[in-house]
Amino acid sequence: MTPAATIVAHDVGTPGGMERQLGELCGGLLARGYRVVVIARRCELPPHPRLRWVRVRVPRRPFSLAYPAFFLAGSLAVRRHREGLLHTTGAVVCNRADVSTVHFCHHGFSAVGGAPQTSRASRGHRLNAAAAAWMSRAAERFCLHPARTRRLVAVSGGVARELERFLPGRHGEVAVIPNGVDRDRFAPEPRARAEGGGGPGPGSPDLGGLLVGGDWGRKGG
């Protein structure tokens, strides 16, 4: 009998750290002979005979509407289309899951004084950000409880410690699997480095690393 897994997330395979990690996970499962069901709002994975995408048709924003819409529609889709093991990315559906990969702990962010993120200073944007933060923490406590999710996997030791501290029943049991990097794809190109010239920059021997990303306030930057 062919093993199967169901992957649930807002987006899979699209640009972004979580989305790419999920794309690699799906690719690895397919390479090992699994049937894979992806339940997501968006999926950008190459076609495969054992891959099935169940599209969750909900809006992307504002978060205060998009998040509960996906939570409801995604939960119904899982109930109808789930096959084999159920893997979620954080608190996105209410179904009982076998494992959830957690990239960010909202309780931990709030505990250190992290403020709700908003792109504008208007009252509506502030209310949306506050509602988003409250919903994220409430769903986190409900969905990631041991009664609903059997195993948690954190992408760093810091996230694991926050989950064990703030979520009931999780002390000492959160696994840590850091996100990997494809060193063949992201290897520095010698010619581009040599043409960078002197001083700080791609061609400088003083440059030890380059960080590319966003939302640095939430990541501790």
pLDDT at 198 over 60: no
pLDDT digits (tens, 9 = 90+) for 91-138: 999 999 999 999 989 888 888 765 555 555 677 777 878 888 888 999
Tell me the pTM: 0.82
- Give the model confidence (pLDDT) of 39-85 as tens digits: 999 999 999 999 999 999 999 888 889 999 999 999 999 999 999 99
Split at pLDDT 50, 70, 90, the class of 205 is low
pLDDT of residue 142 exceeding 70, the answer is: yes
* Location of structure tokens 């505990």: 111
Q: What is the pLDDT of residue 130?
A: 83
- Strands across the sheet with 35-40, in order? 51-55, 35-40, 4-8, 85-89, 97-102, 149-154, 175-176
Name the superfamily (CATH) of residues 4-187. Answer: Glycogen Phosphorylase B; (3.40.50.2000)
Domain locations in the chain as residue ranges:
4-187, 190-221
Phi, psi (degrees; rounded to nearest 5) at 175: -75, 155
- Within 8 A by CB and 6+ apart from 134, the residues are none
What's residue 180's pLDDT? Answer: 78
What are the tens digits of pLDDT across the range 86-104?
999 999 999 999 999 999 8
pLDDT at 8: 97
From the list 68, 69, 84, 204, the residue with the least C-alpha distance to 139 is 68
CA distance 179 to 190: 25
Residues in the chain: 221
Spatial CA neighbour of 102 closest among 15, 176, 27, 213: 176
pLDDT tens sequence across 148-192: 999 999 999 999 999 999 987 877 789 999 887 777 776 766 666
Query: Side chain identity at 166, as an amino acid letter?
Result: F
